[in-house]
């Protein structure tokens, strides 16, 4: 369904509480309706968790933007502990498309996600905001008084988006029972449910590896608990926690629901209901009304933080492995990439470079500081980059370890129940963990990064093991003074924790037996008294924030960080990868859904370990994975210690396929980078599910092995062994093969069987797209200086059509990614053709940067051209003889080459197929020179 931008912005987002089983509110003023009886159940049913709450009082906010309601429990129960007797609910309108509902203990404060980690931007509070009240209604909230429940409704079609009020159903035996429990609120157990209609398709609630594909599966429970367990394990909680889902209804109407809560939880999708079971915190809900998938992500990231801009070089290809023995081997790898003519932007080091696996050290034998520094400077001279790993555990086993000494002096480590530094074990043996909630901890971390950067001028940091991972379980561990290197089994003597935090009354379905297993004990405290029980899922986010600030201060350039553990808002700080997968075709296939889920939760810079991390890869698998991975937003080959080498030059066939696929990636770098700019401004994923561009097409909701880059490029990889064809779904329109332009798919919304020989991957551009491309090169630094080609895709089966595109340019390293005079250029492209005429024009914002760099459009390729262009003008001037135009009748494409049009200057190219006509009269240029605001 298409929505007019003008219409959407004209409709306001204002809370209206309407008459619904006991309470009616008009214009933000609450009134108790004496004539309406409270709802009661004449036939009570047995509920071990009680009958919920009743509303006892309502207070309006003076600004008219919501209200507060007081609730009291109807019946005390003891399952999972006693109920909190009195609750308070606040309801606030925030901006045009967002509703905030929070329910908590009325008398006592409870844990909430800190604003310092997730900012919760409220646009309606901005001075002079266009979101300020009064506004017309897009959404309304209704509630029942007894038992309490609330519903959120989209006013335009009266569709209920969320409804926590249980309905009563009669079984075959004639016994009444609820569809689900009324709301439950105890100290360590919170439960709330919502009805889900049969027309809904749900996405999100991660992170986990999902063999069933992208949509949530009815009957499954999704557990949210940051856990160090390999991503090759399906259907278990992994590294990230995202209590957020997107709900797509009939016709493509979409909304989002975020429960901003960092405690452990199970979310059960029962088919016609969804139930949250949370072991702490509050109910802190945000509802995003959409109405399109892109609108929902825009509204969600406006709240939790826009995705951080990534440096240009990070969109190049990366190579890593756990097991590069020394600097000479790194040099060997880089040289082999060059010898094989395979692009390489960044070489990485896993923990091999460290001395005894100590952070901020280099092995004096295999990675001497001076030798490693010289190597990195050679990389920089070649336009390449270097990233190294850091784990949060700081070893205590070495007396002269200055990083530990400075940390002890500042007292920045997590504390156990006796207020001693909490002892754990990871790769370097016994360790303390920094507390990134502590401002002194973040400052200490920044200092260590700065001091190490003076020795090794790295370009980015990879922060791993930050769930946080611990090889031991328990509290008050002891170290006997003997270090056992390379041993990932616990050798500390640890006391088993028996607190209510490590053994809560409700146990979520984690990958391990208890939530405190293989991580920090739940009773461990942060500097402000915050329990790990509450903050566990936030450790990776807090480390990412500290690392981002440290890199900005140290390098004075745009940070690049890759973090394993993430939470809501992590995308504003870091890139992410899918974790420790395996070298199997199943893991290749599953990576697609995981990457798409990451983009939907605001982490668009996402990739998987290409060719597989664990186990030995093979030629066929690595061949297909390099083809797929060339189109991940973050593209990195990485494998485990002891596995056979899997760099793309190892096998001739893989090298050939990699050259082809990565050559296309490097040609598309301007497109990737422009999508990053869109993500940074609007939250839009770089890699997107098909339904993001085609929400009305119900068939796109089930597609889990294809993805879009932006809205115009479709990637259809081979995900099965021994396959030479691939079945792909193509939404309506013409799709042109990007590798040859000639082969195309004209679809009414259908599946097609495509040829997929071993040396190729299917990548198509959709009609209506203008694709900015540059020349391929072995580094992004070289590629970004080459001339541009604009690929303009019109419908093949129609004689007229439109196309649009965008291009953002800057030096790729400025800390801010903004349109700024002399520092960046932003261009919109618009094209239209009729039977005999066509026009392509640009609209430039701040063109100085592109002009300074001498960037030009050299070639224009028109796909779906009606016939040969016999007359060309640029800015109403007939083109010179040095500009050539050729028409391929078989491909129905026109190529105009020899141009030298400055990207930073506005231009209008006009063509006609009639020799006597020199201007495309009859085209409505106004329709192609206006576009939506950034």
Residue 33 pLDDT: 23
Residue 926 pLDDT: 36
DSSP E strands: which ranges in 407-566? 424-426, 429-432, 460-463, 475-478, 493-495, 561-563
Using 70 as the pLDDT threshold, list the residues of the chain that sit under it: 1-47, 123-137, 169-176, 485-486, 914-934
Of 352, 364, 330, 301, whose CA–CA distance to 119 is shortest? 301
Q: Of all helices (H) and strands (E), which one includes residue 407?
A: helix 402-410
Residue 96 pLDDT: 81
The predicted model scores a pTM of 0.93
Coil vs helix vs strand at 670: helix
Structure-token pair, residue 175: 């016994």
Of 777, 593, 724, 622, whose CA–CA distance to 217 is shortest? 593
Catalytic residues, by residue number, are: 464, 467, 580
- How far is 355 from 923, CA to CA, in rounded Å? 68
Are the CB atoms for 831 and 931 separated by under 8 Å?
A: no
Structure-token pair, residue 704: 């889990």
Are the CB atoms for 407 and 445 separated by under 8 Å?
A: no
Residue 925 pLDDT: 39
- How far is 152 from 791, CA to CA, in rounded Å? 44
Looking at residue 880, what DSSP letter applies?
Answer: P
Domain extents in the chain: 52-124+134-170+177-304
- How far is 719 from 576, CA to CA, in rounded Å? 22
DSSP 746-763: EESSEEEEEE--TT--EE
In the CATH hierarchy, which fold is given to the domain comprising 52-124+134-170+177-304?
Answer: Immunoglobulin-like (2.60.40)
- How far is 707 from 713, CA to CA, in rounded Å? 8
Residue 663 pLDDT: 98
Of 330, 411, 315, 395, whose CA–CA distance to 367 is shortest? 330
DSSP E strands: which ranges in 396-535? 424-426, 429-432, 460-463, 475-478, 493-495
Distances (CA, A) of 103 to 32, 100, 620: 21, 10, 54
Residue 473 pLDDT: 95
pLDDT in tens, 23-44: 333 223 222 222 222 222 233 3
Are the CB atoms for 600 and 297 separated by under 8 Å?
A: yes
Positive or negative, the CA dihedral 822, 826, 832, 838 is: positive
């Amino acid at each position: 369904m298409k929505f007019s931008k003008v219409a959407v912005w004209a409709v306001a987002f204002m809370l209206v509480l309407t008459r619904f089983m006991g309470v009616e509110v008009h214009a933000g003023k609450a009134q108790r309706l004496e004539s309406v009886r409270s709802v009661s159940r004449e036939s009570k049913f047995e509920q071990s968790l009680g009958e919920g709450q009743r509303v006892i009082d309502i207070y309006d906010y003076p600004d008219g933007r919501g209200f507060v309601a007081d609730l009291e429990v109807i019946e005390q129960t003891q399952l999972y502990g006693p109920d909190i007797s009195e609750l308070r609910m606040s309801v606030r309108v925030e901006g045009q498309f967002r509703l905030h509902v929070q329910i908590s203990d009325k008398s006592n404060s409870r844990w909430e996600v800190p604003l310092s980690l997730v900012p919760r931007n409220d646009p309606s509070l901005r001075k002079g905001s266009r979101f300020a009240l009064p506004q017309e209604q897009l959404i309304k909230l209704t509630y029942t008084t007894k038992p309490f429940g609330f519903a959120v409704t989209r006013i335009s079609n009266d569709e209920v988006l969320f409804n926590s009020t249980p309905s009563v159903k009669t079984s075959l035996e004639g016994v009444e029972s609820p569809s689900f429990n009324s709301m439950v609120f105890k100290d360590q157990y919170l439960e709330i449910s919502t009805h889900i209609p049969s027309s809904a398709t749900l996405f999100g609630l991660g992170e986990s590896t999902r063999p069933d594909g992208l949509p949530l599966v009815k009957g499954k429970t999704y557990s949210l608990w940051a856990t160090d367990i390999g991503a090759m394990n399906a259907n278990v909680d992994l590294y990230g926690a995202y209590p957020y889902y997107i709900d797509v209804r009939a016709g493509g109407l979409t909304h989002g629901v975020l429960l901003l809560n960092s405690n452990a939880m199970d979310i059960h999708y029962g088919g016609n209901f969804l139930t949250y079971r949370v072991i702490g915190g509050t109910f802190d809900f945000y509802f995003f009304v959409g109405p399109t998938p892109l609108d929902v992500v825009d509204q969600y990231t406006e709240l939790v933080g826009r995705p951080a801009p990534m440096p240009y070089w990070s969109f190049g290809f990366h190579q890593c492995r756990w097991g590069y023995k020394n600097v000479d081997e790194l040099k060997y790898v880089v040289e082999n990439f060059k010898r094989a003519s395979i692009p390489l932007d960044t070489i990485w080091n896993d923990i091999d470079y460290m001395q005894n696996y100590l952070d901020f050290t280099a092995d004096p034998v295999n990675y001497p500081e001076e030798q490693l520094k010289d190597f990195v400077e050679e990389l920089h001279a070649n336009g390449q980059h270097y990233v190294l790993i850091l784990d949060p555990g700081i070893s205590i086993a070495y007396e002269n370890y200055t990083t530990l000494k400075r940390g002890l002096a500042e007292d920045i480590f997590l504390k156990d129940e006796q207020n001693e530094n909490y002892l754990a074990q990871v790769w370097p043996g016994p360790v303390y963990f920094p507390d990134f909630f502590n401002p002194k901890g973040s400052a200490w971390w920044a200092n260590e990064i700065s001091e190490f950067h003076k020795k090794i001028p790295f370009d980015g940091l990879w922060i791993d093991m930050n769930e946080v991972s611990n090889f031991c379980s328990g509290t008050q561990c002891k170290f006997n003074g003997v270090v056992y290197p390379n041993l990932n089994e616990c050798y500390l003597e640890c006391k088993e924790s028996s607190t209510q935090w490590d053994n809560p009354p409700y146990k979520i379905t984690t990958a391990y037996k208890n939530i405190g297993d293989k991580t920090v004990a739940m009773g461990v405290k942060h500097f402000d008294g915050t329990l790990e029980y509450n903050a566990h899922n936030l450790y990776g986010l807090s480390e990412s924030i500290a690392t981002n600030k440290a890199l900005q201060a140290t390098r004075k350039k745009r940070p690049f960080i890759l973090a394993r553990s993430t939470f809501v808002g992590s995308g504003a700080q870091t890139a992410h990868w899918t974790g420790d997968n395996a070298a199997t075709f199943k893991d290749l296939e599953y990576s697609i859904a995981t990457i798409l889920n990451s983009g939907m939760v605001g982490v668009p810079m996402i990739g998987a370990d290409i060719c597989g991390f664990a186990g030995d890869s093979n030629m066929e698998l690595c061949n297909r994975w390099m083809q797929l991975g060339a189109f991940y937003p973050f593209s990195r080959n990485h494998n485990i210690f002891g596995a056979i080498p899997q760099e793309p030059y190892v096998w001739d066939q893989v090298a050939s396929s990699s050259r082809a696929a990565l050559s296309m990636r490097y040609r598309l770098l301007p497109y990737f980078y422009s999508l990053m700019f869109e993500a940074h401004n609007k939250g839009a994923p770089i890699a997107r599910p098909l339904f993001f561009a085609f929400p009305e097409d119900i068939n796109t909701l089930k597609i889990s092995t294809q993805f879009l880059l932006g809205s115009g490029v479709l990637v259809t990889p081979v995900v099965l062994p021994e396959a030479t064809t691939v079945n792909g779904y193509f939404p309506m329109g013409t799709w042109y093969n990007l590798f040859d332009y000639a082969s195309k798919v004209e679809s009414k919304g259908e599946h097609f069987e495509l040829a997929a020989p071993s040396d190729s991957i299917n990548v198509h551009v959709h009609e209506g797209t203008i694709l900015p491309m540059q020349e391929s090169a072995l580094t992004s630094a070289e590629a970004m200086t080459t001339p541009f080609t604009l690929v303009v895709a019109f419908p093949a089966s129609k004689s007229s059509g439109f196309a649009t595109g965008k291009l953002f340019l800057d030096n790729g390293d400025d800390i801010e990614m903004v349109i700024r005079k002399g520092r960046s250029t932003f261009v919109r492209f618009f094209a239209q053709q009729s039977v005999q005429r066509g026009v392509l024009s640009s609209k430039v914002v701040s063109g100085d940067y592109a002009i300074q760099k001498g960037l030009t459009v050299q070639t224009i390729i028109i796909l779906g051209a009606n016939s040969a262009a016999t007359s060309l003008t640029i800015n109403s001037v007939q083109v010179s003889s040095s500009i050539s135009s050729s028409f391929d009748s078989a491909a129905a494409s026109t190529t105009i080459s020899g141009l030298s049009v400055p990207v930073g200057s506005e231009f209008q190219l006009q063509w006609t197929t009639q020799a006597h006509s020199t201007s495309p009269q009859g085209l409505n240029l106004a329709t192609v020179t206006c576009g939506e605001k950034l």
